[in-house]
Amino acid sequence: MNLGQYLKDLEEIVNIDSGSEDLTGCLQMAAYFANRFEEAGFDVRISREPGKHPHVEARSFTRKSDEIDILFMGHMDTVFPKGTVQQRPFCIENGKARGPGAADMKSGVLLAFYLAKEIKEKALPLNLCIAFNSDEEIGSADSVDWLKELGTKAKYCFNFEPGRDTGAFVKERKGVYDYHVTFQGIPAHAGVAPEKGASAVIEMARWVWALTNLDAPLQGTTLNPGIVKGGSASNVVAEHAEMLIDLRYTQDSELKRIERVFDEMVAYPRVTGVKVSWERKEGFPPMMPSSRTEGMIELMKEAAAALGQVPPTFASTGGGSDANNLGGLPVSVMDGCGPVGGGYHSNKEYLVLSSIEQRFQLILKTITAIAGR
């Protein structure tokens, strides 16, 4: 690969503001990759539905079949608001590239493009599909069905989220869901007639405390009441309160256990007169390793040995990604395939330049082995 050209391309796309809420920037990113894939001879489809996030699908099939041998996934959006590029544009210093989304994950989608182009030029006998969305950072609501449909047809999936700062790929991700819980109480004057009220805040406090007893770290289950708010004045018994809970889990039985407890707490509030309701919001199911994952790991280890590289490592993480949505499908999934980085979602984000070619060679060697099977 031409690293110098890659870095020029990376500078161009990092310097495009494409926060998830910036549809103009997301469209600009989609147009960039659609054009690049078309120039490389791929069949390209770009989704531009009004008011929805665009996504790009590129294909290079060597046989007549809907079956996808290799699926590349990645997202073109970032968490940063419009104007961030002006504040801190792309730069390179001390062997690291910086800028909004440099690691998460503009370097990853660009690496996927370079790999796809190389695979096509080598005429490997594969049905290759590339899927880039632009709403991953906000839950992929506009693209999840499309990604799942592609996943049902795929044998192997490489998701180009950044490699861990240790250099590891990601073989396992916890499931993650947000829960919105609302509490409706009865207002009253806190000094004149507190007995006539029913405090939504006190009932919410009961929930906050109860959550600490629902954690099951050995099973991979954690809950975090990240946002809590309620009441209107200190001298009014709170009529309303609400909270947003973050759940991380690895087993479906744990998800059912948590929601069963939520139902019980709704049915039997501690504060008489308070009504409680909960709703599961956006999120991802868990991506758990399987025998298929282990087979993929062995292929990657063999590829590294053939290249004389250090044996790759494979990590588990509590963070979610689009790879989670393929976790329950009969497809071998590997995440963290992008270049190595760290400091995600912050102004300290960085990309390790030395990992770019290493990742490129390892994944290309692995896919070449798959093609030879």
Q: Which of 228, 261, 284 is the last residue of a domain?
A: 284
Active site residue: 9, 57, 69, 77, which one?
77
Question: In a 10 Å sphere around its CB, with 0-12 CB exposed, 13-18 middle and 19+ buried, how is residue 113 labelled?
Answer: buried
Residue 282 clears pLDDT 80, i.e. is over it: no
Q: Are 139 and 193 members of one domain?
A: no
Active site residue: 9, 135, 136, 349, which one?
136
Q: What's the pLDDT tens digit per position in 188-208?
A: 999 999 999 999 999 999 999
Residue in 256, 255, 273 with CA at minimum distance from that of residue 183: 273
Question: ω into residue 296 within 30 of 0, thus cis?
Answer: no
Q: Are 30 and 136 members of one domain?
A: yes
Q: Are 155 and 203 members of one domain?
A: no
Q: Are 81 and 71 members of one domain?
A: yes
Q: Are 188 and 326 members of one domain?
A: no
Q: Is residue 77 helix, strand or coil?
A: coil
DSSP 8-state class, residue 189? B
Tell whether the torsion through CA atoms of 28, 4, 337 and 40 is positive or negative. positive
Q: Are 277 and 201 members of one domain?
A: yes
CATH number, domain containing residue 258: 3.30.70.360
Q: What's the pLDDT tens digit per position in 75-118?
A: 999 999 999 999 999 999 999 999 999 999 999 999 999 999 99
Q: Are 73 and 190 members of one domain?
A: no
Is 77 among the catalytic positions? yes
Q: Which two tokens stand for residue 292?
A: 């298929």
Q: What's the pLDDT tens digit per position in 138-167?
A: 989 899 999 999 999 999 999 999 999 999
Return the pLDDT at 120: 98
Q: Are 168 and 296 members of one domain?
A: yes
With beta carbons less than 8 A apart as the criterion, state whether 157 and 73 touch: yes
Residue ranges making up the domain that contains 248: 175-284
With beta carbons less than 8 A apart as the criterion, state whether 144 and 161 touch: no
Task: Tell which phi-psi region holds residue 231, choosing left (phi > 0), alpha (psi between -120 and 50) or beta.
Answer: left
Return the pLDDT at 372: 86
Q: What's the pLDDT tens digit per position in 299-326?
A: 999 999 999 999 999 999 998 899 999 9
Return the pLDDT at 189: 98
Q: Are 15 and 163 members of one domain?
A: yes
Kindly indicate the confidence band of residue 292, based on its pLDDT and cuts at 50, 70 and 90. confident
Residue 360 clears pLDDT 80, i.e. is over it: yes
Amino acid at 119: I
Q: Are 183 and 330 members of one domain?
A: no
Q: What percent of the chain is predicted at pLDDT more than 90?
A: 92
Residue in 245, 151, 238 with CA at minimum distance from that of residue 203: 238
Is 252 among the catalytic positions? no
CATH number, domain containing residue 102: 3.40.630.10
Strands 96-98 and 91-93: antiparallel
Q: Which of 252, 284, 316 is the last residue of a domain?
A: 284
Number of domains in the chain: 2
